[in-house]
């Protein structure tokens, strides 16, 4: 090749890369303009997305088609846009309790139907055709559960194809003969990037298509897209990307879609500090998916070395919601130094629209190789059992928050109530509520118990742990979701 042509190709490559970087920055900065405001909670149901799907029917650039039904009869809708020869297929919420990417998909629709980013959208829609299948498991979403109405994991139904949802997914993939597939999930928030204290906010995988984990052109292109997306996320959540284990699972859809010839990118949305409803992670999905689509459209991904895929840290699982380090715990009149790891378990309300937390000690001892979303250095502090306050209150409204903090500082972690709120197990104030004849069980720090105690230094209660949430009694500050009600 002549030097002139080499320089021309280099210039064009650099120009395309610059355009992609600018596009990524702009869609991140303008995200709030395109965010679908009605989808602001994780407990997202089929009925919540129907008005947004119906609104797309009036847009001539979109093609909407009912492609199947769930076991309980909820429609599965394929939404397509673009005229390019490269088919990109994106499906979300195969697990009903994994909605983050579903929300991001509707944000993407808003950008695609806006008057902004005309040049970038022209590039995308001229070179690729996008096909979206949001909320593949609406029956699971209805009850905010992983499995479908049959009680099976759709992501382990690629061979037997017993579920109508799995059958639909296979049929659409085959009919499109999709070039690229985005398999969109949520993962456990307790994953961290290996050997760091940072959560794996986004994790990626180019699934293996055989036990040998061979890399052909199909899987290699998926790796290139992931390397590109990782570079995007590093700008906004540095160090918070993980790489999923690529052991071959012959029943899984991702592995089989890769095997069937579609370059498959698994995206798992994990945890992000102080982002309970995962709205910041939703934004990262929006930015990284749109950017990936753009690089597929302009072909920039082809120049990305796949060697960088292995440089992404692996997923580990060493995060707690709260880690207490070096506390003194007296047992049988002897002092011991222990760390305590606490996780908050979400318990759904009756209509699966919201939740409350139940804290649990999940590990204790030397936890020096573990991390916490919140970490408290308890060196010099002694764990002390909380007491029940002797006065009986008529109802929860009879006591102010300032009074609650005084009780906590005096060593009380439970209040007696004449009338406990009906049908509730959670309490909004930072102290547990109990009935008048309630007797506390024996106090012991061990895995499985609810972490409720005081942290005392020099005889003064400076911190309280209520339902696993740390409360600073000096500053009267806490991040408590809820305390509990014991009857």
Rounded Cα–Cα distance for residues 332 and 207 (Å):
52
Instruction: Look at residue 363 in the predicted model and tell me its pLDDT.
Output: 98
Residues 417, 470 contacting (CB under 8 angstroms): no
Rounded distance, CA 413 to CA 431, Å?
6
CA angle 299, 304, 309 (to 5 degrees): 130
d(CA 13, CA 9): 6
Give 458-462 contacts, CB < 8 A, sequence gap 24+.
Answer: 461/384, 461/408, 461/409, 461/410, 461/411, 462/381
DSSP 8-state code for residue 413? E
- Domain boundaries in the chain? 19-316, 320-486
User: End-to-end distance of the chain based on CA atoms, in angstroms?
Assistant: 81
pTM: 0.93
Q: Give the separation between CA 213 and CA 183, rounded to whole angstroms.
A: 19
Angle between helices 279-298 and 217-236 (to 10 degrees): 130
Chain position carrying tokens 């990109």: 88
* pLDDT score at 477: 76
Cβ-contact 387, 446 below 8 angstroms: no
H or E stretch at 15: helix 3-29
Could you tell me which residues come within 8 angstroms of residue 124 by beta carbon, excluding any fewer than 6 positions away? 82, 84, 130, 293, 294, 297
- Pair of tokens at residue 63: 């093609």
The pLDDT value given to residue 479: 86
DSSP string covering 146-162, please? SS-TTS--GGG-TTT--
CB 198 within 8 A of CB 270: no
pLDDT of residue 2: 58
Residues 295, 395 contacting (CB under 8 angstroms): no
> Coil, strand or helix: which one is 338?
strand
Q: Which CATH architecture has domain 19-316?
A: 3-Layer(aba) Sandwich (3.40)
Distance CA 423, CA 129 (A): 50
What per-residue confidence (pLDDT) applies to 342?
Answer: 98
DSSP assignment letter at 199: B
For residues 410 and 386, give the distance between their C-alpha atoms in angstroms, rounded to a whole number. Answer: 9
pLDDT value for 21: 83
Is residue 459 within 8 A of residue 409, CB to CB? The reply is no
Residue 126: predicted pLDDT: 98
| pLDDT < 70 stretches in the chain | 1-18
SS3 category, 171: helix
The sheet with strand 75-82 has its strands ordered as 62-69, 75-82, 128-133, 86-92, 180-186, 263-269, 202-205, 241-243
Q: For position 14, what pLDDT does the model report?
A: 43
**Bridge partners, 74 (sequence order):** none
Read off the tokens for 35.
Answer: 């965010």
Tokens 């190789």, located at residue: 369
């Amino acid at each position: 090749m002549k030097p002139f042509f080499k320089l021309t190709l280099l210039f064009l490559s650099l120009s395309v890369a610059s355009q992609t970087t600018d596009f990524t920055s702009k869609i991140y900065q303008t995200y709030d303009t395109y965010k679908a405001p009605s989808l602001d909670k994780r407990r997202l149901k089929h009925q919540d997305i129907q008005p947004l799907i119906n609104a797309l029917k009036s847009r001539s650039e979109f093609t909407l088609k009912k492609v199947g039904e769930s076991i309980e009869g909820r429609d599965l809708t394929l939404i397509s846009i673009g005229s390019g020869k490269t088919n990109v297929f994106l499906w979300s919420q195969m697990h009903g309790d994994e909605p983050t990417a579903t929300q991001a998909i509707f944000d993407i629709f808003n950008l695609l139907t806006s008057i902004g980013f005309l040049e970038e959208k022209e590039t995308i829609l001229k070179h690729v055709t996008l096909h979206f299948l949001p909320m593949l498991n609406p029956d699971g979403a209805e009850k905010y559960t992983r499995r479908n109405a049959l009680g099976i994991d759709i992501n382990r139904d690629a061979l037997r194809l017993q579920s109508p949802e799995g059958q639909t997914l296979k049929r659409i993939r085959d009919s499109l003969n999709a070039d690229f597939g985005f398999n969109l999930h949520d993962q456990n928030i307790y994953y961290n990037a290996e050997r760091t204290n940072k959560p794996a906010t986004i994790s990626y995988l180019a699934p293996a298509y055989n036990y040998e984990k061979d890399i052909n052109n199909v899987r290699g292109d998926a790796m290139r897209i992931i390397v590109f997306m990782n570079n995007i996320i590093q700008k906004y959540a540095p160090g918070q990307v993980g790489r999923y284990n690529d052991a071959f699972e012959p029943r899984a859809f991702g592995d089989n879609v890769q095997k069937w010839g579609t370059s498959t990118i698994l995206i798992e949305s994990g945890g992000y500090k102080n982002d309970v409803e995962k709205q910041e992670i939703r934004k990262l999905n929006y930015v990284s998916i749109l950017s990936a689509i753009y690089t597929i459209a302009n072909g920039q991904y082809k120049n990305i070395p796949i060697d960088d895929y292995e440089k992404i840290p692996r997923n580990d699982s060493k995060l707690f919601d709260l880690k207490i380090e070096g506390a003194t715990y007296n047992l049988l009149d002897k002092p011991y130094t222990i760390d305590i790891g606490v996780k908050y378990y979400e318990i759904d309300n009756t209509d699966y629209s919201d939740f409350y937390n139940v804290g649990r000690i999940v590990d204790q001892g030397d936890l020096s190789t573990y991390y916490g979303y919140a970490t408290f250095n308890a060196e010099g502090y002694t764990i002390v059992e909380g007491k029940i306050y002797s006065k009986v209150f008529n109802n929860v409204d009879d006591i102010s928050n300032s009074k609650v903090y005084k009780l906590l500082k005096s060593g009380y972690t439970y209040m007696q109530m004449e009338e406990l709120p009906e049908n509730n197990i959670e309490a909004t104030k930072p102290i547990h509520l109990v009935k008048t004849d309630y007797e506390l069980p024996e106090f012991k720090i061990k895995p499985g118990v609810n972490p409720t105690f005081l942290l005392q230094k020099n005889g003064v209660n400076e911190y309280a742990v209520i339902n696993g949430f740390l409360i600073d009694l000096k500053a009267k500050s806490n991040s408590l979701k809820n305390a509990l009600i014991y009857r």
